[in-house]
Chain A
Amino acid sequence: MPSTSREGAAMDRPITRRQFLFSMGYGALAFAGMGGREEPVQSRPYFQWAQLRYPGAWDPSPNGVSRFMAELRKRTSIEAGVRKIEVEAGDESLFNLPFLCIAGRGDFPDPGEQAALWLRRFVEHGGFVLFDDATGIENSGFARGVEKWLEKAFPGETLKPLPADHTVYQSFYLLTGAPGRKIVRPVLTGIERENLTPVIFTHNDLAGAWDGDPLGGYANPCIPGGERQRELAIRLGVNLAMYALTGNYKKDQVHIPFILKRRKR
């Protein structure tokens, strides 16, 4: 269903007056000549979060995605869906939802050869897969299981650390790391295909940083960086969604001088 709701968690770090004015000034520059209608009559959820359901701890942060989708709608022009859509391995309805998240807090049971081919077809024709390891430990059972399955889906290709200038770190926010609820590994890893990285793995329980409790607060503390780390985890989520939707847009020539200038500051 379409949604124009703007609910979501407030930012925990208060913004200074100077930052606020700065931000408004930028907005004025970016959207000079604004006018016309204020709200669209209708909107479509262009970005839906599909998540793989499998036997085991497939949904370690039940409220994380909906909290994040609200942030995505609030912060960007992406019309994001409200809640995640569950899919099972081999389910062809996935092909209507080009973004798939596979998360886990325990072991990742091998979905098998057919499911590996299914994943391969999905990726080869333009789909994007995000793996989120919620275990909070290095070399977890989830990570090992995923690596084995990826070996079947993409023989000879392995997850490699993404370089600091990878588009995913600058697709909306300018980021220097990949924090989640924890910081097990400071960078994302991924599999590259034709100048894009359609498979990305985050080791730091990204959705765990977004997950909320029934009272509107956050369910988990972010270690070691606290609320600043949580904000950066939300920004990383925004960047991942933006990267899935726009690919290497921020590597287009028109963006490069701006990004280099801001990175130097």
Chain B
Amino acid sequence: MAGWEFLGASFTGVALAFAALGLAVFSGFTSSRGFPPGQRVLLIAIRSLAVLLAVIAVMRPARHTDLTRIKRAPLAVVIDDSASMGLGQNPLSASALDWLGKNESGLSELEPWYAVERFTLGDPPPALPKEAKFGPEGFAKQESPLSATLLGVARSRPGIAGIILLTDGRENRARDTEPPDISIPVYPVGLSGGDVRDVWIEGVDTPPVAFIRTPAEVRVRIGLSGLKPGKTSLSLYEGSTLLESTQVELKEGINEAKVVFGPKRTGRKAYRLELSPVPGEDSAENNSAQFSVGVIRDKTRVLLVAGTPTWDVKFLRDRFNADPSVDLITFLILRTPRDLSMVPESELSLIPFPTQELFEKELHTFDAVIYANFDYGPYAPPQYLENIVKFVREDGGGFAMLGGDRSFGLGGYEGTKLTEILPVELGGALGGSLLRYGPFRPRLTKAGSAHPIFQWDPDPEKNRELWNSLPELDGQNWSLRASGGGVVLAENPQAQNEYGPMPLIVIGEYGEGRTMAVLTDSLWRWKLPYAARGGDEAVYRDFWSSSLRWLMHDPDMELLRLLAPVSTLREGNGLTLRARVLDAEYQPAAGAEVTGKLTGEKGESFELVFSEEAPGEYVAKEIPLKARGIYRVEAQAKKGAMVLGRDELAFPVGPASPEPQRVGLDKEYLEKLAKKSGGRVLRGDEEGLFKALREDGEKRLEVVGKKVEEPWANWMVMLLALSLFALDWTLRRLYE
């Protein structure tokens, strides 16, 4: 930019200058009166010119010109120095080094316009010194934080003109597989090579949560490169247990497969996917992947089967129907084979009892099965009882048997398979004494007093009062005692057998599941007779709600809870595990002894001792994770001799380095990255880029100074002005 300015200009100066000019012209007119016109004009002109020259000398008119220079913008060359670049027969690292060598001069030629810097991967990305040499040994980084590097470079170099990127595109830190949102043009170099013969698990998409006993779908992205399309098997394991195996058809590129499985227990569960190795593949390291999913309960699906309509069943149905978290399916036997109803089917509302459907096909869809005074004999063959046993032991289902004149021994269950999971022994009763009539007041055992099923009020004293205020029950089924694994929570002190008071409410754990025996059909008395007389009707509600939740392994019902590790764990990391412990009143348990065991996939184990950080908060630190795989933690909390609770947790530990997991050039990622950022993939046309960069650089000028010239700032002007004044004075004297 060029222009004129007055260096001596100010408002006063300009005003004075004009005043002086005006005065000169005016004085020229007045002082030349009487002179002939020719002389007069000459005198005015001389005086005006003299004054003008004086004004110029004072105002200092000057011509200025901007001085500019090229503004150098940052330009980054990012080199992916991760180990995956050096893998394969014809590694990409060689191509990257080759590119750097070939384009060294091209990049140098950009120096007038650009401050070219080299970076490697990192967060923040490290800049390579100009003189540093980068060779094949440099490709050793054990992760590829590609997104973090690009964003870090953009952030640390404001005004950066672009990023030339030498990478395989194998991001393995960010969870998002999409390229980052970056507003700087990125120019990935289309490297050659990187050809691998490999099958690998590219990624696993899991649902945010899975629901117990509900099919959960896991989508697996499987890569195939350099091998013939074909089939391989994909297997899903929980620990060493194979859950699902499926054949997947693979073709070159990324393939999608899905695995469907039904989690059986709630909690944080870890799983492993394994792809069978394909002959000829370069690496089987990347054929497995691990993930963990939180398994929760949606609705508790309960199957209630009752041998006859009773008040116990009626009030239980009302309770479950009023609970929005329970999906209740009921089958009531309204007519037995002994009942006579000689009317056509069309006049009855009875439906067939779909035993086969329920006990063979649909059993696994329920969370709990309740037999309420139900005698199986007339309706279902004995193998259905075996299905119930399997449902509990293997599927983790809950089973409860409620008393009555068709239940326990009276239901013909003695000697059947079901006794394997019943928490009471049925044998030993004399004929006719299988059901004891009459009112009785039950008593809680020590275990019952502390069990969450009977915690109806946080205040132990109030809880005891509630229990004592309950009305008498009526009628009890015979049982001998708790069976192996059974725990008596309540008993009838008025009915004794050779082992002591008869058990009334007994619970047990069998395999994966839990069972409950309620040896009376009169618990409904905790509802109508109790509540109508002013008792707390929440007792009946809470008893059944808690019982169902306990049967379902509801983690919130457990007094010990292990908290899942929050970050992704890798082989060699130190693990910190936290546990929360409550006492029988569900208050933070101070002074508890929390111990446990960490078991790795290969059976290696590590004893855990938790220390108390705060009341009820326990922690075990610096637990070594020596190998990758699924780890399982089992912990127990004790206070004195009493076991407060047990919990278990599973989590995956990945390999120390994720690098071998993903190999080869991800062209699709690079294309997406270039397009999203406004750049393009360079495929041997670097010169075009360099030329465009140079042209852009030319336009990028900055003003660094100003050149000012005063053409009249010299003694000649002043001398001329003085001479003119002298001439004016002389001529006036001459003409007068």
Contacts and interface: CB of A to CB of B under 8 A. Distances in A.
A5 interface: no
Interface string A246-261: 1111101011001100
A32 B380 CA distance: 8
Given A39-B338, A44-B475, A74-B340, A247 B318 contact: yes
A11 B342 contact: yes
A13 to B, nearest CB: 10
B527 A46 contact: no
B352 A46 contact: no
A44 B352 contact: no
Interface in A134-190: 170-174
Contacts of B521: 44, 46
Nearest to A256: B351
A194 B67 CA distance: 90
Given A23-B342, A44-B405, A262-B346, A125 B527 contact: yes
B339 A77 contact: yes
B335 A77 contact: yes
Interface string B187-216: 000000000000000000000000000000
Contact of B351 (A96, A246, A254): A254
Nearest to A244: B314
A126 B346 contact: no
B440 interface: no
A242 B548 CA distance: 27
A245 B349 contact: no
B335 A173 contact: no
Contacts of B533: 92, 95
Contact of A172 (B346, B349, B378, B529): B349
Q: Which of B329, B337, B410, B531 has the most CB of A within 10 A?
A: B337
Interface in B413-437: 431-432, 434-435, 437
A19 B342 CA distance: 7
Interface stretch (B246-254, B305-313, B626-634): B305-313
Contact of A250 (B336, B341, B349, B531): B349
Given A46-B310, A79-B405, A173-B343, A40 B378 contact: no
A22 B336 contact: no
Nearest to B534: A121
Interface size class of B (residues with CB under 8 A): 35 or more
Nearest to B314: A245
Contacts of B346: 174, 262, 265
A96 B349 contact: no
Contacts of B337: 27, 31, 34
Contacts of A74: 339-340
A173 B355 contact: no
Contacts of A258: 349, 351
Contacts of A242: 309, 334
A26 B345 contact: yes
Contacts of A30: 335, 350-353
A222 to B, nearest CB: 18
Interface in A1-38: 2, 11, 15, 19-20, 22-23, 25-27, 29-38
A32 B352 CA distance: 9
A44 B404 contact: yes
Contact of B410 (A32, A40, A78, A265): A40
A23 B341 contact: yes
Interface string B525-564: 1011101110001000000000000000000000000000
Contacts of A245: 309-311, 313-314
A76 interface: yes
Interface in B329-385: 329-353, 355, 375-381
B139 interface: no
Contact of B339 (A76, A92, A170, A246): A76
A125 B311 CA distance: 12
Nearest to A124: B532
B317 interface: yes
A43 interface: yes
Interface in B436-483: 437, 475
A2 to B, nearest CB: 8
A34 B435 contact: no
B297 to A, nearest CB: 21
Contact of B528 (A22, A40, A98, A247): A98
B412 A246 contact: no
Given A34-B378, A77-B307, A172 B348 contact: yes
Contacts of B311: 46, 98, 245
B330 A249 contact: yes
Interface in B493-539: 521, 524-525, 527-529, 531-533, 537
28 contacts: A20-B342, A23-B342, A29-B352, A30-B335, A32-B352, A35-B377, A37-B377, A37-B412, A41-B410, A44-B405, A44-B437, A46-B311, A46-B521, A76-B309, A77-B309, A77-B339, A78-B309, A95-B533, A122-B528, A125-B527, A172-B349, A173-B348, A174-B349, A245-B313, A248-B321, A249-B332, A262-B345, A265-B346
Given A27-B337, A249-B332, A265-B346, 10 more contacts: A32-B355, A34-B377, A44-B435, A125-B528, A125-B531, A174-B346, A246-B309, A248-B321, A250-B349, A252-B329
Interface of B: 307-311, 313-315, 317-318, 321, 329-353, 355, 375-381, 404-406, 410, 412, 431-432, 434-435, 437, 475, 521, 524-525, 527-529, 531-533, 537
